[in-house]
Amino acid sequence: MKVIDINGVKEEIIERSDFPLEKSREILKSEQTAILGYGPQGRGQGLNMRDQGFNVILGLRKGRSWDHALEDGWEEGKNLFESEEAARKGTIIQFLASDAGQIKMWPMVKSCLNEGDALYFSHGFGVVFKDQTNIVPPENVDVILVAPKGSGLSLRRLFEEGRGLNSSWAVHQDYTGRAKERCLATAFAIGSAHLFQTTFEHEVYSDLTGERSVLMGMIEGAFRAQFNVLRRNGHSPSEAFNETVEEALQSLYPLINERGMDWMYANCSATAQRGALDWAPRFQAAIEPVIEECYKSVREGTETRKAIEANSRDDYREQLEKELKEISDSELWTAGRALRPLRPGE
């Protein structure tokens, strides 16, 4: 365990060395982990646990996800079962269906919980916004959370590369007195690199804000805006794409990832440094009120209400594919498809 001090704020970081796999296996040796759902998180967490020798089964409906699991080597009747059967077998139920899926599945899951079981989430959505989801865990179970800070695809890829993905962890309800150790053992079983503590509330507020802002929504909007300005001013699609996306992802953002924003600045031209330093405060002033508005919308439950209503529509999948196609067919990402194969080694 490492205690870090960031401007006077002390945080406890739990590393792999604090929870070697042998320790996690010892804690979980009498547990049966049942993962419900095989989206990105269910798949990534499940495969990582299986590959590390933990006692894990999947619970799915027969259909596309079931077929995908079979392709990944899960075996019906051995470690692949229909949802309710898996839920009844599990002592730790990793509830990793989609947010909308959790709402539909909750009555079944609740009926399968036994005293002393652990109900595990990777997102605080269902529990925090219980007034909208009706997910209220019974008092006689542990309720825990491990939230990888990235997609399940990244969790799996980094695991296969021998690395890991940082995760947050939280205990919402400790009925058995073992909730924390069950939580931490599972966190490293799924391939976490290191852990930092949070709460269900903080996890969902930060996660939904981040997705709508700098992780996805805001970055897409920024890419579109700069690309469009350059195109309107006579720059070619290749030039606009390279200056907007390619240089960011291939050159500058990796420098930020390596050692931070100051490192990126230090490795750019003096002209670039000066311009970025001058304009950054103006962008912050313009964007921060929007992110504040987004956070307020998340905390008040407006964003969850929108998500639940959208995901509950019968035509949701068709509408989503239509929206994604509009992005794919835009000139920005059409240029990307044409230019990406020209990268060395692609």
Active site residues: 123
Amino acid at 303: E
Q: How far, in Å, CA of 207 to CA of 298, rounded?
A: 10
Q: How far, in Å, CA of 212 to CA of 218, rounded?
A: 7
Nearest to 141 by CA among 172, 168, 169, 170: 172
* Start-to-end C-alpha separation, the chain: 41
Helix (H, G, I), strand (E, B) or coil at 197: strand
75 close to 102: Cβ distance less than 8 angstroms: no
Q: How far, in Å, CA of 211 to CA of 298, rounded?
A: 11
Q: How far, in Å, CA of 108 to CA of 34, rounded?
A: 14
What are the angstrom distances between the C-alpha of 99 and each of 56, 168, 253, 301?
A: 22, 18, 31, 14
Q: How far, in Å, CA of 286 to CA of 208, rounded?
A: 20
Q: How far, in Å, CA of 211 to CA of 205, rounded?
A: 10
Q: How far, in Å, CA of 304 to CA of 201, rounded?
A: 13
Amino acid at 154: S
